[in-house]
């Protein structure tokens, strides 16, 4: 009997070839599942986008679309990627069959022993399969194949032999001609790029339509598909790079927006009496232009991501077809696959966007013609069409977008910034205050001092204010007045380049210069924008000398309250002093962008409004519980921002809330633990899950609760920020244990608990300190260059440590493994935040944070945590 023959030797090698399982193949459960009905694919049909669905599901879509008059006839839109596919007169049945999936499903049925006879109407279980008839045979049909002459030379294999086959796909259905359904395809028309049968060959003009047998044409056509896949893969990489570039473009757009806004505000301050109305008009125009540009970039961003996803799907389908399909299957689908891949390749969008927002102004005769000369935005030149296909060289060449610099090179210079007249004429209020105090207190946002200017911390959030404050000192100096009189050509036009010339001509806005070889200016490398700025500058030594010559206290004096221990000749200062003015994070093109999933809240006292909220947590059902500090209440929201309920009445009595700062939830009971001020500096109260008061816990030994958490045993853990100490308290109010952590950190800001380890954010130490439950120091996670002023921490279910900060007005998340190795970084460039408090990750991977000074909650997109 033929079933006893070796399967691998008897299957039609000439037609189907050998597809050994030695090579890995993309076969998975999801590949065999219809995304419309969520069942196994039945009669799988391939759309032009190479997505596969059940024929019945596609017919249902066509039926639903037929009821809508706006839908195109004989056109179906892919439910996943929205690409349109033109159909034949037979509807979904005119689409190509996914032969590979069909064969896989048949083989799955063979392996699960659920296949029935397809040769007769008996509905009995099949015991074998005929490779020639492509039918499963029951015992009766199997006997008929053995004895009847019409089945002579048919190859019959038992299902058991098929299950034991070493091939991934040991069975293949015959590929039938679309025009002559009873004929198998045997030829491939090189002109039409379609598979044909013997009948079709007679209808073709052989001279104009050369053809080959499928097994002869297979090699060349497979090679063409492989080349298309390779080209598509390069386009996928291009799309990934383009996504990063567009992310940088958004950052650059925001930077230009911020600078333009600052320039408008500065001009307004100079001519406030006559320019108030015009200022508002221009700010509105700026916001409209910025919003328009942002929408354009986001739309292109979406287009790039969509193209990349389509390319991935197409490559996956083509790769699976090549690895698992036989000759007839590959050649039959080759045109569809090739068409889609070529379509994606030829229509890969180019990330060419124009993010320039330049504001021009003219100071001459401004009192006479205010509206005409106050300023206007430069007309934006239209971006290059984003539908053209970049060549391979273009894909690798530098783009026209100016990304943030992240090089670590340093440049040496003996001169500092160019202090021009518009900087010297504005924002000098800080100097009066500093002249009175004469001291500098290290903080995340330090007050102005000349030491800041000498350290060259132009990456600081106070850099412009520092220069402007120094301006007041110099405006009172006769030497500077003479300089300004001779330098009217430096009065700003309020273009972006002018801003750079006004602030730092011979340096980097992101740092990277060294003064006299002894002082590092900022971090990172030079900005590509600054490379275009003319090197007009003045010497800082000359500036300080002019101050001294006019009677101002000698800034180089050893006992100077402004620049202690500073050598004017060398401009050298102790490196230890540098730590008092931390550098903000250098924008990094490698940061992954986080999309805003939900943002809710605003300043106010109504439902869903906040007033300087200081803390939040996630409830038992992952509701968001917010300590609305200045409104003296607790508010509870769903994850989408829908208000649920609130509790708390203002007051210092028990059961009332007085400036609640932190809140936590006991998972086992759903009770709320709230820390507020009360009659003491710190007070802890317990409320039911419905907000009813239960009891008060006295915590007079804690000054300020910086972080609050609850262990799996239901113990309350609080960390004191004044005297860095961790306290573990029972729900009954008993102090179970405590440990001092002041030897290992400076200022705690948040705490998270994972198993038997306590993770405490060190706000001023720029790291996370890990302790055992007994208070033993274990390790540090993060550093100043990565976790600047951390103010939120959480640990995922997989044990990944997420550390959040809002330094530089961008919410930034660094992800570490348990040992402290950084896995990835994320940043949300789409909204400016101030003083974020806390970080929590939901079960879906959404990151939640609270922007205290913005009075709102942010729920950010899913992070992939290893």
Report the distance separating Cα 80 and Cα 225, nearest Å. 24
pLDDT of 692 = 94
Greater confidence (338 vs 476) lies with: 338
Q: What are phi and psi of 445, to 5 degrees?
A: -125, 80
Residue with tokens 């994320």: 826
Q: What is the mean pLDDT of residues 63-88?
A: 77
Residue range 547-564: mean pLDDT, rounded: 39
For the residues of 693-758, what is the DSSP string, one character each? EEEEEE-TT-S-EEEEEE-TTS-EEEEETTTTEEEEE-TTS-EEEEEE-TTT-S-EEEEEEETTEE
Q: What is the pLDDT of residues 90-113, one digit of tens each?
A: 888 888 888 888 778 777 777 777
Sorting pLDDT into bands at 50, 70 and 90, what band is 787? very high
Q: Is pLDDT at 485 greater than 70 in this prediction?
A: no
> What pLDDT is stored for residue 681 in this prediction?
77
Report, as an integer, the average pLDDT of 671-676: 96
SS3 call for 357: coil
The residue among 364 and 408 whose pLDDT is bigger is 364
CA distance linking residue 646 with residue 669, whole number of Å: 18
**Does residue 675 register a pLDDT over 90?**
yes
Query: What percentage of residues in the chain have a pLDDT greater than 90?
Result: 27
Lowest mean pLDDT, pick from 143-157, 246-260, 535-549, 629-643: 535-549
Residue for token pair 């132009």: 458
Predicted local distance difference test score (pLDDT) of residue 522: 34
* CB contact at 8 A, 793 and 828: no
Segment 556-571 shows an average pLDDT of 37
Query: In the beta sheet, which residues pair with residue 752?
Result: 759
d(CA 572, CA 729): 50
User: How much is the pLDDT for 487?
Assistant: 40
Write down the pLDDT at residue 678. 79
Tell me the pLDDT band of 672, cut-offs 50, 70 and 90. very high
Q: Does residue 648 register a pLDDT over 90?
A: yes
Higher-pLDDT residue of 845 and 781 is: 781
Select the more confidently predicted residue: 469 or 568: 469
CA–CA gap between residue 92 and residue 85 (Å, rounded): 10
Q: Which residue has the tokens 């910086």?
A: 706
CB-CB contact of 739 with 694 (8 Å):
no
Pairing of strands 615-618, 633-637: unpaired
Average pLDDT over residues 508-519: 36
Q: Six-digit token pair at 603?
A: 């300043």
Query: pTM, whole model, 2 decimals?
Result: 0.38
495 pLDDT higher than 80: no
Q: What is the DSSP letter of 32?
A: G
Is residue 463 pLDDT above 70, yes or no? no
pLDDT interval class at 362 (50, 70, 90): low
- pLDDT attached to residue 861: 85
Any idea which of 198-207, 233-242, 628-637, 749-758 has the lowest mean pLDDT? 198-207
**pLDDT value at position 273?**
63
The CA R_g of the chain, rounded to the nearest whole Å, is 35
Mean pLDDT, residues 507-525: 35
Least confident of 26-40, 282-296, 544-558, 705-719: 544-558
Query: Which tokens belong to 391?
Result: 């060549």
Q: Residue 583, SS3?
A: coil
Q: What angle do CA 696, 701, 702 make, to 5 degrees?
A: 80
* Rounded distance between C-alpha atoms, residue 572 and residue 279, angstroms: 42
Helix 327-346 to helix 214-270 angle (10° resolution) is: 20
- Rounded mean pLDDT of the chain? 73
CA-CA distance, 355 to 289, in Å (whole number)?
Answer: 10
Domains of the chain: 213-383 (no CATH), 411-580 (no CATH), 592-860 (2.120.10.30)
Q: Given the structure tokens 């994606």, which residue do they identify? A: 344
Span 635-649, mean pLDDT?
94
Return the pLDDT at 862: 64
User: Would you state the pLDDT for residue 364?
Assistant: 67
Residue 6 has pLDDT above 90, yes or no: no
pLDDT of residue 420: 39
Q: What is the DSSP letter of 808?
A: G
pLDDT tens figures, 843-862: 888 999 999 988 999 999 86
Q: What values do phi and psi take at 730, rounded to 5? A: -80, 165
What's the pLDDT tens digit per position in 727-744?
999 999 999 999 999 999
Stretch 164-192: mean pLDDT: 79
Output the pLDDT for position 271: 65
Give the residue, 456 or 864, on which the prediction is more confident: 864
> Which pLDDT score is estimated for 494?
39
Going by pLDDT thresholds of 50, 70 and 90, the confidence category of residue 665 is: very high
pLDDT over 50 (residue 517): no
What is the C-alpha to C-alpha distance for residues 18 and 326, in angstroms, rounded to an integer?
8
Pick 170 or 836 by higher pLDDT.
836
**DSSP states of 633-676:** EEEEE-TTS-EEEEE--BSSSTTSBSS--EEEE-TTT--EEEEE
Question: Which pair of structure tokens corresponds to residue 636?
Answer: 């509870």
Residue 615 clears pLDDT 90, i.e. is over it: yes
State the pLDDT at residue 591. Answer: 79
Q: In this predicted model, what pLDDT tens digit does every residue of 201-216 receive, in sequence order?
A: 777 766 677 888 888 8
pLDDT tens for residues 14-49?
Answer: 333 444 333 444 455 667 788 888 888 888 888 989
């Amino acid at each position: 009997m033929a079933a006893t023959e070796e399967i691998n030797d008897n299957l039609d090698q000439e037609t189907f070839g050998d597809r050994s399982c030695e090579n890995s193949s993309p076969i998975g459960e999801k590949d065999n599942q219809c995304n419309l009905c969520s069942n196994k694919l039945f009669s799988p049909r391939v759309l032009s986008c190479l997505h596969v669905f059940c024929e019945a599901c596609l017919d249902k879509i066509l039926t639903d679309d037929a009821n809508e008059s706006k839908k195109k006839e004989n056109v179906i839109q892919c439910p996943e990627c929205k690409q349109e596919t033109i159909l034949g007169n037979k509807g979904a049945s005119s689409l190509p069959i996914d032969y590979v999936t069909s064969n896989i499903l048949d083989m799955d049925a063979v392996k699960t022993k659920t296949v029935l006879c397809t040769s007769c109407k008996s509905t009995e279980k099949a015991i074998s399969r005929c490779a020639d008839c492509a039918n499963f045979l029951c015992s009766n049909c199997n006997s008929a194949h053995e004895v009847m002459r019409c089945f002579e030379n048919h190859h019959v294999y038992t299902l058991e032999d098929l299950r034991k086959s070493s091939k991934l796909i040991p069975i293949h259905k015959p590929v039938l001609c679309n025009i002559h359904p009873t004929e198998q395809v045997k030829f491939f028309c090189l002109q039409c790029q379609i598979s044909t049968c013997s009948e079709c060959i007679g209808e073709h003009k052989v001279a104009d339509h050369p053809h080959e047998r499928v097994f002869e044409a297979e090699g060349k056509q497979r090679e063409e598909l492989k080349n298309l896949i390779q080209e598509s893969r390069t386009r996928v990489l291009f799309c990934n790079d383009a996504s990063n570039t567009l992310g940088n473009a958004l950052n650059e757009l925001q930077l230009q927006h911020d600078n333009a806004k600052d320039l408008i505000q500065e001009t307004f301050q100079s001519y406030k009496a006559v320019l108030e109305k015009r200022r508002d008009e221009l700010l509105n125009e700026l916001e409209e232009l910025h919003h328009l540009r942002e929408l354009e970039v986001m739309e292109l961003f979406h287009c790039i991501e969509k193209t990349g996803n389509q390319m991935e799907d197409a490559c996956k389908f083509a790769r699976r077809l090549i690895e698992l399909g036989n000759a007839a299957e590959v050649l039959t689908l080759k045109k569809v696959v090739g068409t889609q891949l070529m379509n994606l390749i030829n229509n890969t969008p180019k990330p060419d966007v124009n993010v320039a927002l330049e504001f021009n102004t003219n100071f001459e005769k401004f009192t006479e013609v205010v509206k005409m000369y106050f300023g206007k935005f430069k007309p934006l030149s239209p971006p290059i069409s984003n539908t053209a296909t970049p060549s391979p060289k273009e894909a690798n060449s530098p783009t026209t977008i100016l990304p943030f610099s992240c090089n670590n090179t340093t440049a040496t210079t003996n001169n500092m910034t160019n202090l021009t007249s518009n900087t010297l004429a504005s924002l000098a209020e800080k100097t009066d205050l500093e002249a009175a105090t004469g001291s500098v207190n290290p903080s995340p946002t330090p007050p102005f001092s000349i030491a800041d200017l000498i350290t060259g911390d132009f990456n600081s959030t106070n850099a412009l204010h520092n220069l402007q404050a120094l301006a007041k000192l110099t405006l009172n100096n006769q030497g500077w007045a003479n300089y300004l009189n001779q330098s009217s050509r430096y009065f700003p036009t309020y273009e972006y380049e002018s801003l750079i010339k006004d602030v730092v001509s011979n340096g980097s806005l992101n740092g990277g210069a060294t003064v006299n070889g002894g002082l590092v200016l900022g971090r990172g490398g030079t900005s590509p924008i600054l490379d275009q700025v003319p090197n007009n500058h003045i010497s800082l030594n000359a500036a300080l000398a002019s101050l001294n010559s006019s009677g101002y206290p000698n800034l180089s004096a050893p006992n100077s309250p402004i620049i202690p221990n500073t050598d004017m000749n060398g401009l050298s200062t102790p490196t230890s002093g540098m730590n008092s003015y931390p550098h903000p994070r250098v924008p990094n093109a490698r940061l992954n962008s986080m999309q805003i999933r939900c943002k809710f809240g605003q300043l106010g006292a109504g439902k869903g409004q906040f007033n300087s909220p200081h803390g939040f947590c996630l409830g038992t059902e992952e509701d968001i519980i917010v300590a609305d500090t200045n409104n003296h209440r607790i508010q509870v929201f769903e994850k989408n921002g829908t208000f649920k309920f609130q509790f708390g009445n203002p007051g210092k009595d028990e059961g009332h809330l007085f400036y609640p700062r932190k809140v936590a939830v006991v998972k086992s009971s759903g009770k709320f633990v709230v820390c507020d001020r009360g009659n003491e500096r710190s007070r802890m109260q317990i409320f039911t899950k419905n907000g009813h008061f239960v009891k008060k816990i006295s915590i007079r030994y804690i000054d300020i609760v910086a972080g609050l958490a609850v262990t799996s045993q239901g113990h309350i853990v609080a960390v004191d920020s004044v005297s860095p100490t961790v306290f573990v308290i029972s729900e009954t109010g008993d102090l179970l244990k405590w440990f001092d952590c002041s030897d290992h950190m400076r200022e705690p800001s948040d705490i998270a608990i994972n198993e038997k380890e306590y993770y405490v954010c060190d706000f001023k130490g720029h790291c996370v300190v890990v302790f055992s439950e007994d208070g033993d120091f274990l390790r540090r996670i993060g550093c100043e260059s990565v976790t600047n002023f951390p103010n939120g921490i959480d640990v995922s279910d997989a044990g990944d440590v997420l550390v959040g900060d809002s330094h530089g007005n961008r919410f930034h998340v660094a992800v570490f493994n348990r040992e402290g190795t950084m896995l990835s970084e994320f940043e949300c460039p789409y909204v400016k935040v101030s003083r974020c408090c806390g970080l929590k990750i939901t079960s879906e991977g959404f990151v939640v944070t609270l922007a205290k000074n913005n009075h709102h909650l942010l729920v950010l997109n899913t992070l992939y945590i290893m």
